[in-house]
Structure 1
Amino acid sequence: MIYRIVSLLCLCIPLLAKAVPVSNLYSAQVLMGANQGEADLLQNAFTKAATQVLARVSGKEVEIKGELAPRIAQQASKWVAEHAVQALPGLYDIDGVSQPAKQVKVDFYPQLVNQFLYAQGLPVWGGNRPSILVWVISEQNGVRAVASANQSTSALNALASHAQMMGLPIYAPLYDDTDQRNLSGSELWGMFEDSIALASKRYQTDMVLAVKVDQLTQDVSANAELFIPDMEPVVWQLTAENEAAVLESLIGAVAAELSERYASTRSDITGDVVMRVTNINDASALRLVSSYLSSIDVVRKVRLATLDGQTVEWVLTLDGDQQKLLNSIRLRSILVAQTVSALDPDANRVLAYKYNRGN
């Protein structure tokens, strides 16, 4: 059983821990100061919402908030499909000023957002995203605390808030007696990989992020390692003026790393691969697998090539390299990789899989 963080208070619900469909990629709600004209309010809200959506869809927050910011401000209103404005009671702290506020919900046209990203040479990352178990330990004034689904900390809340904005499905461990036997606070602080892996096994997520946050004399540091199966850990050492800022930077870096693994990139040069799938024994299975292949972000086009009994071959045209295709397939258990004998004349021609009918 695993618990996903669904709010800043870490209210949690049990669900399976494999790849998670993330919805509302192209929508955002933003809080705006009400003391401005309607036209300015909408223009600023569209820009703010578009910035969030573009960062979430591409995984490239640094580029979106940096050099592309002026272009986004100019074009954001053109991408709006619909919007709604709601006046809120009371006063809100916006940019350090207590003032009346309005909440603006904006839905954007996905095709226009994607076109903008591709035109800038940035990737588009769909809604099928890897689940991430997050171990967080923080130290302040010499006292260390491990965050859990049942006992959150400010560090976990900051991670959860920005992960939600970036479309990353993160989960907190229970850190109950079982977890504590497998992973002590000292071992988590020391980033003992074997202990982290042992404690994480029960949660069965696609990957694991271990984070330690340390309050320095003036700044806050975050050291983190992302554990992806069959890969060396990805390591970050970040420093910022406060806890929220350093953890926002960390989530941005994690999103960028995963975007590189899974998101599609558009160019005039595409590549074709042949995929052979066995255990396709009826028309329903044929339709399901064909639909699944079409849904993978890096797959631009799917063409049925051959049908021989229960074995089917498709030709896939990719936006991105073949490794991204393999990474994406591993997130689901619909297809199980098969070994092709070196003596098979098709060994270098096809990617071989078996359809897992239990999914």
Structure 2
Amino acid sequence: MRLTARLLILCLSLFSLPSFAETLGNLYQVHEPVASQQPDERNAGLTRALQTLVLRLTGNAGAAQSPALAGYFKDPQQLISQYGFENGPPMALVVDFDPTATDNALRQAGLPVWGASRPSVLAWWLNESANGSSLVGDSQEASAPLNRAAQRRGLPLRLPMADLGEQQVGTPENLNAAQPDALKAASERYGADALLAVDAKEADGKWTATWRVWMGDSREQGQAQGDTPDALADAVMLGVSQRLSQRFVGSAGSASAQVLQIEGADLARYAEVSRLLEPMGAKLVEVQGNKLVYRVTASTEQLRAQLALARLQEAPAEPAQPAVDANGQPVPSAAVPTQNTLRFHW
């Protein structure tokens, strides 16, 4: 069997492939606020930038404390390809980390990585102040803090146009409802994976917010506060990112070697699946008709969450076949090596 020829056939209709999960092109770039370009501030900024990246990639607030990463925090430039300053406002240290070196460091520390293919999030964000209420639209000046925070926390963010009709939908009552029924119809045009509702209020120069995020049948919620719109947006996006990451990043030590079978790959879904499986060290080992077979290292929950982004459905496990030796005699089950196999299809 020639894998190359079969993959070429699979990829012929790639440009007609619908995209669900969004691939972050700047996942390993961090914009870290700094007060100046002085060496001490720069060095402290590089360390904070690595902390930001580790949290973005693992979703684990305690990951930066791993003893295996101590040497990198002492000298972050081991993982940095380049850095520079951005005048802003606000002034920021822009740090580009090397993806391969960073991923290797995290995996050697036993920390699972959340890859670049992530669920897109549509944010209905209402700002309320003494001057009135306004739904934040994608072309408004008020969207800048949200976009900066989403980039910092590794979320593919989408914002509504916030036209007159959407302003009437994005009310405090709808944003604080237990279910997003009133927002669903208006959200369909944006084709996002997750729906975020935020009611932000300003009083006495301080900002507070309640937020809810829905993805599939699950809902998460939280509260945030900040002295500025940027600080509030960062607190909200951090909370959302950490909650979502629990679906897509397995806990330390939960990953195991598994066989993954995917059927229905005749529409060049190969490229989409490859991006989703990249952080799991996926290796394509067989192409048989419209079936792809991979070997991956991940937890079952992590695999299910990632593949759901491509609208894949899990198939029942195949019945186990009794093992026999060369003479056709039954082999005791304890003598037969077992291997996890998950099956999915479109």
Q: TM-score range by the shorter chain?
A: 0.7 to 0.9
Check whether the contact 2:195–2:213 (CA below 8 A) recurs between aligned residues: yes
Please show how residues 163-202 of structure 1 align to structure 2 within 5 Å. Answer: 163-180=150-167, 183-191=169-177, 193-202=180-189
The 2-side partners of 1:180 and 1:85 are apart by 39
- TM-superposition CA deviations, 1:310-354 (whole Å, max 9, x none): 3535253332x2222122122235xx43655x9x74799651314
| 2:326 alignment partner in structure 1 | none
SS at match of 2:38: coil
Q: 1:235 aligns with which of 206, 221, 228?
A: 221
SS at match of 1:123: coil
1:252 and 2:238 are equivalent in the alignment = yes
Between the aligned residues of both structures, percent identity stands at 20
Question: What amino acid sits opposite 2:200 in the alignment?
Answer: V
The 2-side partners of 1:161 and 1:93 are apart by 11
TM-score (norm 2): 0.72
Instruction: Indicate the larger mover: 21-30 or 247-256.
Output: 21-30
Kindly indicate which of the two structures has a greater share of residues assigned to strand.
1
| 2:46 alignment partner in structure 1 | 46
Check whether the contact 1:298–1:318 (CA below 8 A) recurs between aligned residues: no
SS at match of 2:296: strand
SS at match of 2:138: coil
Check whether the contact 2:63–2:111 (CA below 8 A) recurs between aligned residues: no
The 2-side partners of 1:290 and 1:160 are apart by 28
**Superposed displacement of residue 56, structure 1:** 2.8
1:299 and 2:280 are equivalent in the alignment = yes
| 2:145 alignment partner in structure 1 | 158
| 2:13 alignment partner in structure 1 | none
The 1-side partners of 2:24 and 2:256 are apart by 27
Check whether the contact 1:261–1:324 (CA below 8 A) recurs between aligned residues: yes
Q: 2:296 aligns with which of 317, 324, 339?
A: 317
SS at match of 1:304: strand
The alpha-carbon distance between structure 1 residues 267 and 42, as it changes in their structure 2 partners (threshold 3 A), is same
Check whether the contact 2:260–2:342 (CA below 8 A) recurs between aligned residues: yes
1:75 and 2:75 are equivalent in the alignment = yes
1:213 and 2:200 are equivalent in the alignment = yes
The alpha-carbon distance between structure 1 residues 138 and 346, as it changes in their structure 2 partners (threshold 3 A), is farther
Instruction: Indicate the larger mover: 127-136 or 115-124.
Output: 115-124
SS at match of 1:296: helix
Q: 1:26 aligns with which of 11, 28, 39?
A: 28
Q: 1:326 aligns with which of 278, 287, 304?
A: 304
The 1-side partners of 2:156 and 2:86 are apart by 30
The 1-side partners of 2:124 and 2:184 are apart by 11
- TM-superposition CA deviations, 1:84-141 (whole Å, max 9, x none): 55696xx9776xxxxxxxx755432323322433455543111111111100112212
Check whether the contact 2:24–2:156 (CA below 8 A) recurs between aligned residues: yes
The alpha-carbon distance between structure 1 residues 116 and 142, as it changes in their structure 2 partners (threshold 3 A), is same
Instruction: Indicate the larger mover: 116-125 or 233-242.
Output: 116-125
Please show how residues 82-121 of structure 1 align to structure 2 within 5 Å. Answer: 83=82, 85=84, 105-121=94-110
Check whether the contact 2:30–2:52 (CA below 8 A) recurs between aligned residues: yes
- TM-superposition CA deviations, 1:52-111 (whole Å, max 9, x none): 332332334x44678889765403122223x355696xx9776xxxxxxxx755432323
Note the aligned Cα RMSD (angstroms).
3.9
TM-score (norm 1): 0.70
**Superposed displacement of residue 278, structure 1:** 3.8
Instruction: Indicate the larger mover: 218-227 or 290-299.
Output: 290-299
| 1:351 alignment partner in structure 2 | 343
Q: 2:117 aligns with which of 128, 142, 155?
A: 128
SS at match of 1:245: helix
| 1:98 alignment partner in structure 2 | none
Task: Provide structure 2 residue ranges, at least 5 long, that are not aligned to the other structure.
Answer: 1-17, 322-339
SS at match of 2:125: strand
| 2:248 alignment partner in structure 1 | 262
Count of residues in Structure 1 that have an aligned counterpart in Structure 2:
309
